[in-house]
């Protein structure tokens, strides 16, 4: 069955990989990107953008209206957040990180849920926990907690390791990461994009609840997709 995706963070490195993967196959009927600024889009008519002020008080309500319009088309609709600061987080204060990762992402997710979207995919990072002493890891954990509390029927949390093919990942870091086994090692950016698609395509046969997808689980999704 065809499906539609409402996504925020689709202009970032990983988000763009997700959008490309969605547009490369026939299963996705529509991708709606929520952007702060207009970007040049591909010629694929299935991909469109809606410009919203993420800092506005009505942001979540505007997302709700978008979600309702998409759900009304009759196809399954999935929400996705690929928001992430990457290496730039070192220049951000904790308050700024929380405003984006918890405030904006949380507002988007609440809007999706209020608009009738029951399944959501969230970009996060390996080891994320609100109890961490490491600022970025702690904020990622708080973001996970905030979205989990919204109560989606199914929530897939993608906890990425080192991302190869990402402009923010130095080549030597990605190379060294290939020597690290398990969740903290390297995973290809395009594989992450395809793993998101695999989650959407097979969502109807997945169990409800919260699932955490680290490197190995994402690769398993790819094998199922192939």
- pLDDT at 89 exceeding the cut of 70: no
Q: Where is 6: in which H helix or E strand?
A: strand 3-8
- C-alpha span between 119 and 154 (Å, rounded): 5
pLDDT at 213 over 80: yes
Can you tell me the mean pLDDT for 50-73?
Answer: 97
Task: State the DSSP H helix or E strand holding residue 48, giving kind and residue range, or none if neither.
Answer: strand 47-51
Res. 136 pLDDT band, cuts 50 70 90: confident
CATH number of 3-225: 3.40.50.720
pLDDT tens for 24-41 read: 988 999 999 999 999 988
Strands 162-164 and 119-125, sheet pairing: unpaired
pTM summary value:
0.92
- The whole-number average pLDDT for the span 109-122 is 97
Specify the pLDDT at position 36: 94
DSSP state at residue 103: I
pLDDT in the model for residue 83: 94
**Over the stretch 4-15, which tens digit does the pLDDT of each residue have?**
999 999 999 999
Find out whether 195 and 221 touch, Cβ atoms under 8 Å: yes
Dist. CA 157–CA 150, nearest whole Å:
14
Please give the Cα distance from 138 to 131 (Å, whole number). 6
Burial 97-106 (b: 16+ CB within 10 A, else e): bbebbbbbbb
Task: Look at residue 43 in the predicted model and tell me its pLDDT.
Answer: 75
Residue 161: per-residue pLDDT: 85
Task: Please tell me the least confidently modeled range out of 31-40, 104-113, 168-177.
Answer: 168-177
Residue 205 reports pLDDT greater than 70: no
CA–CA gap between residue 18 and residue 7 (Å, rounded): 9
Tell which wins on pLDDT, 167 or 191: 191
């Amino acid at each position: 069955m065809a499906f539609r995706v409402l996504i925020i963070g689709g202009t970032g490195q990983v988000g763009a990989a997700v959008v490309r993967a969605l547009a490369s196959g026939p299963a996705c009927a529509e991708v709606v990107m929520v952007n702060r600024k207009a970007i040049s889009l591909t010629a694929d008519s299935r991909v469109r953008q809606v410009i919203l002020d993420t800092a506005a008080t009505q942001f979540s309500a505007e997302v709700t209206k978008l979600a309702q319009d998409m759900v009304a088309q009759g196809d399954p609709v999935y929400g996705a957040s690929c928001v992430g600061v990457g290496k730039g987080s070192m220049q951000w204060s904790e308050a700024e990180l929380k405003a984006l990762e918890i405030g904006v992402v949380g507002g988007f997710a609440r809007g999706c849920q209020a608009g009738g979207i029951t399944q959501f995919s969230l970009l996060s990072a390996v080891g994320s926990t609100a109890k961490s002493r490491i600022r970025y890891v702690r904020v990622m954990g708080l973001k996970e907690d905030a979205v989990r509390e919204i109560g989606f029927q199914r929530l897939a949390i993608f906890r990425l390791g080192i991302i190869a093919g990402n402009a923010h990942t130095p080549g030597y870091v990605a190379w060294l990461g290939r020597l690290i086994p398990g969740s903290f090692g390297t995973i290809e950016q395009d594989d992450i994009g395809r793993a998101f698609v695999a989650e959407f395509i097979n969502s109807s046969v997945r169990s409800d609840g919260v699932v955490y997808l680290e490197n190995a689980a994402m690769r398993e999704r790819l094998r199922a997709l192939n």
